[in-house]
């Protein structure tokens, strides 16, 4: 196997990893958006019923948003790190 073939193989593997990470980010964002929409609907229907339920729904909404933000941020860091390693591997030699 020549050096060119090895670099092409590395590039293909890294491209697949990036596509997979992108898909996972899309799933996380979609589920987070769906959860926020359901919580907003629940908040709208519970607004008149009682303050404890409203506070609980608000707390869960904030927890979902923070969790999704943390997951997306960690995923972005992993993508940046793998991109840096990819550039070093493909450009060295």
Angstrom distance (rounded) from CA 63 to CA 22: 23
| Section 46-56 average pLDDT | 85
Task: Please compute the mean of the pLDDT values over residues 59-77 and round it to a whole number.
Answer: 88
pLDDT at 3: 63
Residues 6 or more apart in contact with residue 3 via CB below 8 angstroms: 93
Q: Which residue has the higher pLDDT, 88 or 37?
A: 37
Confidence of residue 63 (pLDDT cuts 50, 70, 90): very high
Q: Average per-residue pLDDT in the chain?
A: 82
Euclidean distance between CA atoms 65 and 62, whole angstroms: 5
For the chain, give every domain's residue range: 3-91
Query: Which of 59, 64, 58, 65 lies closest to 43, judged by CA?
Result: 58
pLDDT of residue 37: 92
């Amino acid at each position: 196997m020549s050096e060119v073939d090895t670099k092409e193989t590395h590039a293909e593997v890294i491209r697949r990893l990036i596509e997979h990470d992108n898909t996972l980010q899309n799933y996380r964002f979609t589920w987070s958006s769906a959860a926020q929409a359901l919580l907003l609907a629940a908040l709208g229907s519970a607004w008149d019923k009682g303050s404890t339920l409203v506070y609980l729904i608000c707390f869960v909404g904030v927890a979902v948003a923070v969790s999704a933000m943390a997951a997306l941020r960690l995923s972005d860091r992993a993508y940046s790190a793998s991109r840096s390693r990819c550039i070093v591997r493909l450009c060295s030699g």
